[in-house]
Structure 1
Amino acid sequence: MDKELDCRVGKAAAAFNQLGKIWRSKKFSLKTKMRFYNSNVLSTLLYGCETWHMKTSQEKKLDAFDSKCIRKILGIRWSDFITNEEVRTRAKQRPVSSIICKRRLSWLGHVARLPPERLANRVLQWNPQGQRRRGRPKMNWRQTIDRDLQMVNRRWSDALRVAADRAR
């Protein structure tokens, strides 16, 4: 997962740097700049994030990149001592980790609505048998979803029941 995130951050940084003239320009409003940022940089950064199994440290890394970009757009220097929460309220932007959480949960709903014979749905219900290797188990997508569900005060069974109603 670290290699994938490094690749995504690198591509998003390249997209951000190509738009440097827009960030420095006084002709565009903050709202227009944030629309450029969301459509070009965030879409590049978050491509395929629905299937990522991430640790908290990896989410913090993405949030740090996002904050750095927003600070550059707003023209805030590191010596100005402004918190990331204040930066986000000025830009009217949510943290990347919460955007990823929302996308993962919507992907869970999509997969849960698939017919039971589809591979993605079978993998969602799969419970492997046998013994694990020694050491700490690697983080998997299901554990990441469990953590996301805890953040929104839901259980797995509730999430599958709610997923049946697409509009909800």
Structure 2
Amino acid sequence: MLRWTSGLTLRDKVRNETIKSELNVAPIDEKIREGRLRWFGHVRRRPREAPVRKGEDIDIGTERRWRPRLTWKRVVRKDLEILGISENLVDERGEWRRSIKRR
């Protein structure tokens, strides 16, 4: 899609990394993390008794012998650790959005 947007073809022999940097596109893993943290902020601002809060402890992976079960909470904590932000920032909506936003 990016190649098409920039008007290039494979015959032009331009690397994907070059196209991404020229179009100033964030990596897909960062955009997925941003979406996950946006949803986390939405859920955290809801009251404790809200039905959406019950989903916080859902397992999202299978149990394996060599590691513990992967939960949504653990994934979000890892994302927060990567970005170096705190869960307490969720209540300040504008600041939260600015801190999780990727390109």
TM over 0.5: yes
The alignment-based identity, stated in percent, is 22
| CA displacement at 1:88 relative to structure 2 | 1.2
Question: 2:83 corresponds to which residue?
Answer: 152
Question: 2:32 corresponds to which residue?
Answer: 100
Query: 2 CA distance for matches of 1:134 and 1:109?
Result: 29
Q: 1:166 aligns with which of 64, 78, 93?
A: 93
Residue identity matched to 2:92: D
Question: 1:121 corresponds to which residue?
Answer: 53
Unaligned 5+ runs, structure 1: 1-68, 127-132
Map 1:18-167; keep pairs closer than 5 Å.
69-74=1-6, 75-77=8-10, 80=13, 82-84=15-17, 86-124=18-56, 126=57, 135=65, 136-154=67-85, 158-159=86-87, 161-167=88-94
| CA displacement at 1:92 relative to structure 2 | 2.4
Q: If each structure's helix is expressed as a fraction of its own residues, which one has the higher value?
A: 1
Flag the 1:115–1:72 CA change in 2: closer, same or farther, 3 A: same
| CA displacement at 1:162 relative to structure 2 | 0.8
RMSD over equivalenced CA pairs, Å: 2.9
- Specify the SS of the correspondent of 1:71: helix
- Specify the SS of the correspondent of 2:94: coil
Residue identity matched to 1:164: D
TM-score, normalised with respect to structure 1:
0.44
Residue identity matched to 2:13: D
Counting matched residue pairs gives 91
